[in-house]
Amino acid sequence: MLSRAIAMAGVTANKISKHITLLSGTPTGGYTFTQVLVHVAKDTQRYQSLTNRIRGHIYDSLVIGSLEHMAIGLGKTMMPRMESLVRAVSLLYFRAFKHQTVDYFNSAIDVFWNTPVNAPSLFFYSENDALCDYKSLEKVVELWRSRGLTVESKKWKESIHAGHLRTHPQEYLSTLDNFVQSLNIVPLKAKM
């Protein structure tokens, strides 16, 4: 996955650097973009043209929080009847492969919290998401705002992980359209 992210950063910086970029990620896309950020953070000057071209970034159901929260979420979403077993196996896996999982996860999270991208961002999330610790996400939002970044968010008390558009289509599309319009780029309706 990291090699793909590195390749994507290189291709993006070298071949698409003249285009305005709007990034949007579901949980997997958020993870992949964070891998790009890890690479970019190692040489911010080299990739400055890339980070300067990003006009906005959007995250839907970002997987964030502690490894314990993630392990619990995996159990609840993958095999609810075996939630305790999935949680225990996940935590065992994280301990057994600490260097490849926990250390890597923590360094990627650190880079995300201290993002080299200064473009406005939008987060969609819910309080009942088993994989997105909404309190951790709100801390990211607070930190980014304290750094002077523009951060918008839409939170629901109840929704479905990576299914907010399907569950709350009008609110989702309205929030998304307002955000995209605030960036002064092509309106959402022109793309649909």
Q: Is 112 contained in some domain?
A: yes
In a domain, 135, yes or no: yes
- Please give the residue range of the domain that contains residue 142: 2-187
Query: Is residue 48, in this structure, part of any structural domain at all?
Result: yes
pLDDT on residue 25: 73
pTM of the model: 0.83
Amino acid residing at 157: K
Q: Is residue 37 part of a domain?
A: yes
Q: Is residue 149 part of a domain?
A: yes
pLDDT tens figures, 143-156:
999 999 999 999 99
Within the chain, where are the H helices?
2-15, 27-42, 48-53, 67-78, 83-96, 102-113, 134-146, 164-167, 169-182, 188-191
Confidence of residue 114 (pLDDT cuts 50, 70, 90): very high
Look at residue 6 and tell me whether its pLDDT is greater than 60: no
Number of domains in the chain: 1
- Structural domain contains residue 192: no
62 within domain boundaries = yes
> Is residue 42 situated within a structural domain?
yes
- 146: domain CATH number is 3.40.50.1820
Neighbours of 75 (CB within 10 A): 21
Over the chain, what is the mean pLDDT?
Answer: 86
